[in-house]
Amino acid sequence: MMNDHFSLQGKVALITGAGNGIGAACARCFAQSGAAVMASDINGERVEALARELVGEGFEVKAIQHDVAKEDDWARVVDALADWHDGWDILVNNAGIYIGGKLEENSLSQLHRINGINIDSIFLGTQFAASAMQPDGRFGRGGSIINLSSIAGLIGVPGHSIYGATKGAVRSLTKHSAVEFAAFGYGIRVNSLHPGLIATEMGYLVFKDFVEVGLASSESEAQKMLENQMIPMGRLGDVQDIALAAQFLASDASSYMTGSELTVDGGFTAT
């Protein structure tokens, strides 16, 4: 039997980018642990399909279309959350995009695009959650914010410069907001989660990128090189590996953690 400290029973969670990959896995994992989950995604049809599936399995899940780079959309989603439930305990800032390539070949428009999604969404989500979760806020019972960063926010990786820059910013914003919220007594913990190479649509873009920048002759060669030479555990991660780590950060089991960075990478950054 799972220790009650890991349970999310009675908690309300908003998970962005929940239409597929890590976000969808988090939605399923959190719902299975007892949370009421609002799953948001820019692709409304995709997240609606996930919600129908989970509701059909007996879980409390609501889907909503959500452009995480737009302030007005965040206000609308938080209003919808308030109409649905009288509490908000967990935010998983998961939505993001990947743009690779050599730094000298990246365009300024690419930088603006990836910043606009990977950083703006974290800023907006954290800001709206802080306003709503703090003692004088709309929900007022504190909470846990989990910001999805990456190992590219911790170490240098060829072909990842602008992506890594956004994920490094996520790591730094997490630490500053965590300390600030603790200092002001908000009762809100903020931690960053740093996946390694995960078997998702976005994860497989890394192999394509390694070919395009000339580090491998094929995507299969790139995958073998990374698994055999750079990941001590010798395999890609699964979305469930990240979802369970997010559940830990969302739960009372991590009640003394804030401003922390949790790395789940098969040993990649340990070498």
Beta bridge partners of 175: none
Is 256 noted as a catalytic residue in this protein? Answer: no
Residue 248 backbone phi and psi in degrees, to 5: -60, -45
CB 63 within 8 A of CB 19: no
Pairing status of strand 61-65 against strand 36-41: parallel
CB 131 within 8 A of CB 138: yes
CB 177 within 8 A of CB 190: yes
Catalytic position from the list 163, 186, 204, 256: 163
- At 261, is the secondary structure helix, strand, or coil? strand
Q: Following DSSP, what letter does each residue of 33-89 receive, concatenated?
A: TT-EEEEEES-HHHHHHHHHHHHHTT--EEEEE--TT-HHHHHHHHHHHHHH-S---
Catalytic residue list: 163
